[in-house]
Structure 1
Amino acid sequence: MNTILIIIKREYLVRVRKKSFIVMTILAPLLLAAFYGAIGWAAVGSISLKKVAIIDQSGQFVNKLKGDNETAFVYVNESPEQAKKQLVQKSYDALAIIPKDVIEQPKTVQIFSNKSVSLTLQSNIESAISKEIETIKLSRAGITQQVIKDAKVDVDAKTINLSDEGEKSTNSIITTAIGGLCGFLIYLSVFIYGAQVMRGVLEEKTNRVIEVIISSVKPFQLMMGKIVGVGLVGLTQFMLWILLTAGVVSAGTAIFGAKYAKDAAKARSMQMSAMPGQRDVQKKMEASKNPMAELSAAAKTLNIPLIAGCFLFYFLGGYLLYSSLFGAIGAAVDSETETQQFMLPITIPIIASIALAQFIIRDPDGPLAFWMSIVPLTSPIIMMVRIPFGVPVWEIALSMILLVGGFIGTTWLAARIYRVGILMYGKKPTYKELSKWIFYKA
C-alpha cells in the first residue's frame, strides 16, 4: 500500500507542478468566458440593418409592413424598372414588388437585388408580407385588429415538482443545462485524463524506464498508482475550474444585474411623460425580469448537494473505469499510432453516451435512459444527465453498485494485460494475443 501511495504522490506532484497545468487551470475559465463573450459580441455586432424598397401595386401594404432591428422597409412610388436601376444608388439591399393579386396568389411576390439575397433577409421579407396578408384576410372575415391583438397571448407556465417533501418549483431550462453540462464534463475528463494515463504508460515503456521500475514495484501497483495519481490531478483541476467559473459567473451576474436594474429605473422615470403609444413598450420593459436573477433563483430549486455528490462519484468512477483500459492499451503497444486499433472499441460507449444524451434529455425516464444509466460503460454520463430531472434513489444506488463492480472488473482485466504487455517490445499485438495475455499464468 505504501508503494502505491508513493507512486500516486509522484504522479500527482509531477503534473501539478508543471507550468502548463497552472496556466491552463487559471486561464481556462477566463478563456472560455472570453471566447463565448467574443462570439456573442461578434454575432450581435455583425448584424446590420438591411434596407428593403417596397413597391406595393396592390395598395394594401403601404406603411403596414413591420420591420425590426434587422430589416427596414421603405415604400417607393416609382416604377419597377426605375427602382431596379436605382437599387444601388439609393443603397437598398433588396427590392420587393408586391403584385395586385397578392392576396389570392401570395407566391407572386418578387425580390430583386444586385447580390444574392441572404436566407435571413428573404425570410424576414416573406414573414412580414405573410403576417399582413393574414391580417387582411382576418379583417375581411370580420375580425378586428383589437380581437387579433387580444388573441395573441404569451403563456409563461411555472413547473412544480410534487415530491415526498412537498411542492418544489423547477425550471426545465436550468435542469436541462445542468444535466447536459455535467455529462459533457465527465465525457471530457474521461478522454483527457484517460489519454494522459495511456501516454504516461507508453512513454515509460518506450523509454525503457519501466524495466527499472518493475524491478522494485509490481505491475498492478504501478498501474493503480498512475491511474489514481492522474485522477487526483483531474479532480484538483476541475475543483479549481468550478471555483474560478463561479467567480466569473458571480461577477457577470452583478454587472448584468446592475444594468437591468438601471434600465428598469429609467423606464419607471419615463413613464409619467410617455406618449400613449409608448406605454405598452414601457409596460413590457417593467414586466421583463432580470434574466440573471431568474437563473440564480432557478438554480436554487435544484438539489445541489445531490448533484455535486453524484458528479464527484461518477467523475471518479467513469475515469477509473476507462483509465484502466487506456493504461492497458498503453502497455500493449509500442507507439501512439498503434493505439488507434484498440481505442475504437473503448471509445464507442463514451461517444454513444454523449451522442444519445440529447434524446435522454427529452425522455429522462424512458427505457433507453434507464438502461444506459445502469450499464457501467455508459452510466457516468447518462446518469448525470438524468439526475437533475429527478431519479429514484434505488436506480442511483443500483447504478453506483454496478459502476463499482464494472471498475473492479475492468481493472482486473487491464491488470492482466498490463503485467504482460508492459515488457513486450517489437511486436504489434492482436486481439487474439490480448485474450491470451488475460489468461496467461505468470
Structure 2
Amino acid sequence: MEAPLAERIRPKKLSEYISQLHLVGEQGLLTHQIARGIIPSLILWGPPGTGKTTLAQIMAEESKRPFFMLSAINSGVKDIREILDKAKQSGGMFTAKNPILFIDEIHRFSKSQQDSLLAAVEKGWVTLIGATTENPSFEVIPALLSRCQVYVLNPFAKDDLEALLHRAIKTDAYLKTKDIQLKETEALLRLSGGDGRKLLNIFELVVNASEGDLIEITNEKVMQLAQKNTVLYDKSGEMHYDIVSAFIKSIRGSDPNGAVYWLARMIEGGEDINFIARRMLILASEDIGNANPTALIMANNTFQAATIIGYPESRIILSQCAVYLATSAKSNASYVAIGKAQQAVKQTGDLAVPLHLRNAPTKLMKELGYGDAYKYSHDFDNNFIEQEFLPTEISETKFYEPGENNREKEIRHFLKNRWKDKYNY
C-alpha cells in the first residue's frame, strides 16, 4: 500500500524543514546543537502535524546517531528495555554513538513506563526525544521532565502551509504527473487548522477524487470533497482541536447550550477526562479571572472529582462546571496583564531590583543598604503606604487593567483609593 502524501514528502535534512524558525532557524535554540551533534534529552511539545517526528529524525540523521522509535500507544516497558539494552553498549553520554530514542505521544505512557526511562536518560545510554500534544508539566512525571529540555512547536503559519503544498506538487513522484493548479487555497488552509499533516491529507484526498491530469484546486471543490470525508471526532488529532476550540469559545461567549453540546461531542468521542477538565481549569483563570474568583476553585474541584470518579458519572460533574463557567461574569484582565508584563521583560531585559526591595540576609548586604528604605505595609493605616515596587526604568507602568464587571469595579475602586493618580485607575 502506498504511503500517504505527508510521509512521501517528509524532509530528510534540516535545510528542507519548514517552519519552527525559533528552534531551527539561523538563530534557533536547537540549530547549533544539531550542527555540533550535542543534543540533550528533550520534549517536543506542539499541536498535531507540526513536524515533531520529522525534527527528531533529522536530529538523528544530522548528528549521525542510531535512531529508535517507539509509539506510546502500542509499546510497553518490555519494548523500552529491549532498546535500552542495545543502547547500553554504545557508551558515553552525548557522544556520536549515543542512540536517540524517540517516543511519540509520550504523554500516553504510564508512570511506570516513564520511570523505566529514568536511569537510561540519567546515565546517557540514550538521548530521549519525546513528542507530545499535551502540556508536559501535566503529562510527564517530574523526575523525567527535570532531565529534559522542553521545546514548543507552533502551528504552521499561512506561508508555511502554502510552502508545503508547493513542495508536494514539485517533489512528489505521483503529483508531478498531474497538472495541478492552486487557484484558491483558503479552504485547504482553514480546514487544516495549522496542521501540516491534515493539510496534505485533505489535499491528497481532493487530488485523488479528481479526474484527468488537469486538476484545479478551488475552495468550492475542497469543501465539497472534504466535508463528505470529515470524521465526526478523532481524539488523536484530526478534529480534536477543532471541537475543544468550539467548547472553549462557547463558554467564553457565555452560551451554556453550545458548551454542553461540544462537551457531549467530546464525551461521545471518548475524549480523556483530564484533557476536558484541564481546559476548563485554564479557562477559569484566562477568561473569568477576578470577575468571579470562585470559578477557579470550581474548575479545580471539577478536575479532581472527575479524575477520581471517571466515566460515565464524571459527565455530570463536567457538565455542571461547563454551565457554571459559561454563565459566569467574564474577565481576561489577569491574562492580559501577564502578557504585558512578559513583553516588558523581553523588551527591557533584567532590570535591577530596587535596593529597598532586596533581601538582606548577610551583614555586607545590610551595609550596602539592601532593604533600608523598605516600608512594612502593616505598620501603616489600612495596611498600605505608597512606595515604588517596579524598577526605576519602568516606574508607574500599568499592566493590570480591571474589567467592567462588578467584582473588578470594586478592585478598581480599591486601587484608586490606594494609589490615587499614580497608575491612573
TM-score if structure 2 supplies the norm length? 0.21
Q: Give the structure with higher Rg (CA).
A: 1
TM-score if structure 1 supplies the norm length? 0.21
Greater relative CO (CA pairs within 8 A, separation 6+): 1
